Amino acid sequence: MTLAAGILARGPWSPADVEVTWSEREFTADPQATDAADRALEELRGRGSPSHDGLAGRLASFEARDGRLRLDCEPVRWALRLLPGDAMQSLSALCVVRSADGGWLAGRRAGWLATWAGRWALGAAGSVEVGEHPVHTLRRELVEEWSVREQRMDVEALLGMPNGGVMLVGMAWLAEGATVTPDAEHDEFAWWPADVSRWPEHADQALRTLGELLSPLEG
């Protein structure tokens, strides 16, 4: 199954309504893609990034039906997500973080990172590890990047990304008074207003589009 960029499936779903199966068979890319991934990884290491290769998750197929989302996953080489035009449906999870009053947590990613270096992003994100339930990925990244746990979480959408990757988007609502502590992957953070139209100028169009997509799903 080749997935197009855009909204593949739209929730919200409760975490219990997301089913995941894992194949033991590893996805094998063609030699050209493998060589390109090798070069991309070397470039990252050359500028001091601690990036390391290994296996991560790939979305082989999915089905959204009867209020449930099923994801069929398989192992894939992590470095393939670095390819600018075809990330081979490598699966990531984005945990958008909301304060009790509706604010959006945004952080500027450090310059040494492999992806989105120096850019602002919403919440916490990372690759889905082999055998991991993507809902666990959402919660793991929230703790690892911001040292906080959610009061409530929903899975909001499955997105095909322009680079050929796939992203599962969850929304975590924090309890009133909860505080966040950024990790080394962020060199600055801020709470953006609940109204997306009031976000600062450095919030790029991709983030605004995501915010507008998720705003009607608030509950």
Domain ranges of the chain: 6-214
The CATH code belonging to domain 6-214 is 3.90.79.10
Other C-beta atoms closer than 10 Å to the C-beta of 213 total 16
* pTM (two decimals): 0.91
**pLDDT mean across residues, the chain:** 92
pLDDT at 172: 98
Closest Cα to residue 171, out of 218, 106, 107, 120? 218
Q: Which residues pair with residue 7 across a beta bridge?
A: 159
Span of 27-36, 139-148, 195-204 with lowest mean pLDDT: 27-36
Other C-beta atoms closer than 10 Å to the C-beta of 173 total 18
How many whole angstroms separate alpha carbon 157 and alpha carbon 88? 19
How many whole angstroms separate alpha carbon 146 and alpha carbon 18? 24
Which two tokens mark 200? Answer: 């600062």
Instruction: Indicate if the pLDDT at residue 41 is higher than 90.
Output: no
pLDDT at 145: 97
pLDDT band at 217 (very low <50, low <70, confident <90, very high): low
pLDDT at 218: 57
pLDDT band at 83 (very low <50, low <70, confident <90, very high): confident
Q: Which residues pair with residue 98 across a beta bridge?
A: 104, 173
Sequence-separated (6 or more) residues with CB below 8 Å from residue 198: 192
Other C-beta atoms closer than 10 Å to the C-beta of 30 total 10
pLDDT at 111: 83
Q: Can you tell me the mean pLDDT for 61-68?
A: 97
How many whole angstroms separate alpha carbon 27 and alpha carbon 68? 25
User: Strands 104-109, 186-192: parallel, antiparallel or unpaired by DSSP?
Assistant: antiparallel
Instruction: Tell me which amino acid residue 137 is.
Output: T
How many whole angstroms separate alpha carbon 27 and alpha carbon 77? 8
Instruction: Indicate if the pLDDT at residue 113 is higher than 90.
Output: no
